[in-house]
Amino acid sequence: MQNKGAILILSGPSGCGKSTLLKEIYKNISNYYFSISTTTRSPRVGEKDGVDYYFVSKDEFEKDIEAGNFLEWAKVHDNYYGTSLKPIVEALNDGKLVIFDIDVQGHKIVRKKLNSQVTSVFITTPTLTILKDRLYSRNSDSSDIIEKRLSNAKEEINSFLEYDYLIINDDLEKSTKEILAIANIARAKTKLFDKESLVGYWSK
Amino acid sequence: MQNKGAILILSGPSGCGKSTLLKEIYKNISNYYFSISTTTRSPRVGEKDGVDYYFVSKDEFEKDIEAGNFLEWAKVHDNYYGTSLKPIVEALNDGKLVIFDIDVQGHKIVRKKLNSQVTSVFITTPTLTILKDRLYSRNSDSSDIIEKRLSNAKEEINSFLEYDYLIINDDLEKSTKEILAIANIARAKTKLFDKESLVGYWSK
């Protein structure tokens, strides 16, 4: 049997340690494809096209919506954000593990559209207080932005049951072991296999 | 949050390599409890009570059925086989990973009764021919028994989609990595967490 492509979705509030766990996946897992979002917002200092985002014009984005080229998209304030379907489908056909770092809304849509291929994990700090401490101590955002992030986090935690796995990130070693385990078995989901062809091949 | 108990079910035809993978779990996973079945059949040479099975009389077994003490049971030919509920519940309350080596019918019942706690994996050889070769080459069963096992296997493979994961055991190193990954994240299933208490604890 051929190796199957699969989708791994990571969600969790800013400050939960998601980026650190993503790095562990990149270091330890082979044959993955990290999904890059497309946006109409301007690049911030240091952001690169094709690395952080695909930066496109509003016109291009709207044409792609019309053409049905997005797996999911949303308009946030005045900017569009979305995930192009084509590179995802290509990576899946190549047997890759396609990794998404998206929010609760994005997860809901991808899950709905590509359910049998998705394994998803919600990552969180043990408590809101710890999240707050982390966000303030890393000193990279204004308190307005931090309070906005905390209020989003309070909302998003309510959706954890829509995910397959929950990582309560209180111990980096334990969490790393868990995220690598999840990534390592995402391609072994029975739902990825077509019953008729598997049983047919097996019975020969 | 407290560490949750969880259930890991392994099924697969005799000869698929399940026992070898079980040994890898015992070597590498801590805090597990291997479920031992109860039976009314006589111990075979070398079998020990409380290790291979709990051996009981037909009377005792039937009293336990009456009392609702079994998680699942079946009568095969003239003998009863079953899983007592009490040690399972105790091990789950202790936060243990409860491991079952049971067949497709047993999986169906345990899944139905304790669904939110179950992670299950179906293990198989890449093909029926390979299974046949393995069973004949290990030279431990009569050809009557082997043919019976092969015919059971042909039946059981049809149920693989009822399981969470499929291990096609063609490479012991890869399969070991997969079974340990599955065992390592069985306790991270979101369904194990009570939403109200998790969100309540988290928001403090």
Chain B residues whose beta carbon lies within 8 Å of the beta carbon of residue A191:
161
**CB distance B84 to B70 below 8 Å:** yes
Distance separating alpha carbons of residues A89 and A74, to the nearest angstrom: 20
- The confidence band for B190, taking pLDDT boundaries of 50, 70 and 90, is very high
Count of CB atoms within 10 A of residue A202's CB? Answer: 22
pLDDT over threshold 70, residue A98: yes
The whole-number pLDDT of residue A77 equals 78
CA Rg, chain A, in Å? 18
Cα A138 to Cα A17, A18, A134, A141, distances in angstroms: 12, 15, 6, 8
The whole-number pLDDT of residue A44 equals 86
- The confidence band for B138, taking pLDDT boundaries of 50, 70 and 90, is confident
Closest chain A C-alpha to B198 CA, distance in angstroms? 9
**Which pairs count as long-range contacts for A87-93, CB under 8 Å and 24+ apart, including other chains?**
A87/A33, A87/A35, A87/A36, A88/A7, A88/A33, A88/A35, A91/A5, A91/A33, A92/A5, A92/A6, A92/A7, A92/A117, A93/A5
Residue with structure tokens 């952001």?
A47
The whole-number pLDDT of residue A2 equals 57
Q: What is the DSSP letter of A150?
A: H
Q: What is the pLDDT of residues A106-150, one digit of tens each?
A: 999 999 999 999 999 999 999 999 999 999 998 778 899 899 999
- The confidence band for B192, taking pLDDT boundaries of 50, 70 and 90, is very high
Higher pLDDT, B125 or B2: B125
Count of CB atoms within 10 A of residue A143's CB? Answer: 9
Q: What is the mean pLDDT of residues A73-85?
A: 91
Distance separating alpha carbons of residues A2 and B184, to the nearest angstrom: 25
pLDDT over threshold 90, residue B2: no
- Detail the DSSP E strand segments found in chain B: 6-11, 32-34, 38-39, 54-55, 70-76, 79-84, 97-101, 118-124, 165-168
Chain B residues whose beta carbon lies within 8 Å of the beta carbon of residue A201:
127
Question: A interface toward B at CB cutoff 8 Å?
Answer: 1, 121-122, 124, 126-129, 154, 157-158, 160-168, 177-178, 180-182, 184-185, 188-191, 193, 195, 198-199, 201-204
Distance separating alpha carbons of residues A86 and B33, to the nearest angstrom: 46
The whole-number pLDDT of residue A28 equals 95
The whole-number pLDDT of residue B204 equals 80
CB contact under 8 A, B204 and A127: yes
ipTM attached to this prediction: 0.89
Chain A residues whose beta carbon lies within 8 Å of the beta carbon of residue B195:
158, 160-161
Q: What is the pLDDT of residues B64-116, one digit of tens each?
A: 999 999 999 999 878 999 999 999 999 999 999 999 999 999 999 999 999 99
Higher pLDDT, A179 or A3: A179
pLDDT over threshold 90, residue A85: yes
Sheet bearing A70-76, strands edge to edge? A54-55, A38-39, A79-84, A70-76
Nearest-by-CA chain A residue for B130: A202
- Which is nearest to B117 in space by CA: B192, B183, B195, B32? B192
pLDDT over threshold 90, residue B44: no
The percentage of chain A sitting over the pLDDT mark of 70, rounded to a whole number, equals 99
Q: What is the pLDDT of residues A179-200, one digit of tens each?
A: 999 999 999 999 999 999 999 9
Tokens of B76: 């095969």
3-state secondary structure of B204: coil
The percentage of chain B sitting over the pLDDT mark of 70, rounded to a whole number, equals 99
3-state secondary structure of A48: coil
CB contact under 8 A, B190 and A158: no
The whole-number pLDDT of residue B5 equals 94
Chain B residues whose beta carbon lies within 8 Å of the beta carbon of residue A189:
164-166
Q: What is the DSSP letter of B53?
A: B
Q: What is the pLDDT of residues A21-65, one digit of tens each?
A: 999 999 999 999 999 999 999 998 899 999 989 999 999 999 999
The whole-number pLDDT of residue A129 equals 96
